[in-house]
A and B are shown apart, each in its own frame.
Chain A
Amino acid sequence: DAEITQSPRHKITETGRQVTLACHQTWNHNNMFWYRQDLGHGLRLIHYSYGVQDTNKGEVSDGYSVSRSNTEDLPLTLESAASSQTSVYFCASSEGQGRITFFGQGTRLTVV
């Protein structure tokens, strides 16, 4: 079955370190997204991509970057981790007009 795999599932890092969260999908979807989920805020869009070499900023993109070198992967990089980036991160993908969106299981990141 097609799926979205995120790794690691849990990570603790120190303030100022660079961190990369991996996302791999086997749906062969062109559209991929990164969201963060915080209590009281729901899911907020960080970055998204509509295909290889395409990346776009979402509503909370400061301090994050993504790159898309193939269809299957969209890694999320925190350039210099901050305590405010402690959150649960979800990768998602969709096809076509993108209304049917599938999510990964999430990565719980703690910045200390």
Chain B
Amino acid sequence: QKEVEQDPGPLSVPEGAIVSLNCTYSNSAFQYFMWYRQYSRKGPELLMYTYSSGNKEDGRFTAQVDKSSKYISLFIRDSQPSDSATYLCAMTSTTDSWGKLQFGAGTQVVVTP
């Protein structure tokens, strides 16, 4: 079983809808949680970064972490065609070696005009 599970999609939504993405994980030591956006044939770029449990908002993006359920989410409000990309969750722990990220498989999102 993988440490981080993520539905690969594709997830297709109409423009303006809310995109809801999530990951589950098994390692209770994970404390740092990230969401990366990856456009086709490009490198991943960091979208959101949260520590421990709680919510974080940045513009149209909201990241949520529920450590008790080992579940993290990313919401994209008022989605745009430019949000069409693959979204990768990643996480690491305070006990693990610095910067060694565990990634989900990525969810492909398609926002249709």
Contact = CB atoms under 8 A, between A and B. Distances in A.
B99 A94 contact: yes
Interface stretch (B9-17, B37-45, B56-64, B75-83): B37-45
Contact of B49 (A42, A50, A100): A100
Contact of A43 (B32, B88, B98): B88
A99 B92 contact: yes
B35 to A, nearest CB: 12
Interface residues of B, number: 26
Contacts of B32: 99
Given A40-B8, A40-B105, A48 B42 contact: no
Interface stretch (A11-19, A79-87, A102-110): A102-110
* SS class, residues of chain A in contact with chain B: strand
Nearest to A95: B99
B68 interface: no
B1 interface: no
Contacts, number: 67
The residue among B88, B98, B103 with the most chain A CB atoms within 10 A of its own CB is B98
A94 B94 CA distance: 15
B34 A42 contact: no
A4 B79 CA distance: 29
Interface of A: 4, 31, 33, 35, 40-45, 48, 50, 56, 58, 90, 94, 96-106, 108
Interface in B45-91: 45-46, 49, 88, 90
The residue among B32, B34, B88, B101 with the most chain A CB atoms within 10 A of its own CB is B101
Interface in B96-111: 97-101, 103-106
B83 to A, nearest CB: 19
Given A50-B97, A50-B98, A98-B100, 6 more contacts: A42-B106, A48-B99, A58-B100, A99-B99, A101-B99, A101-B101
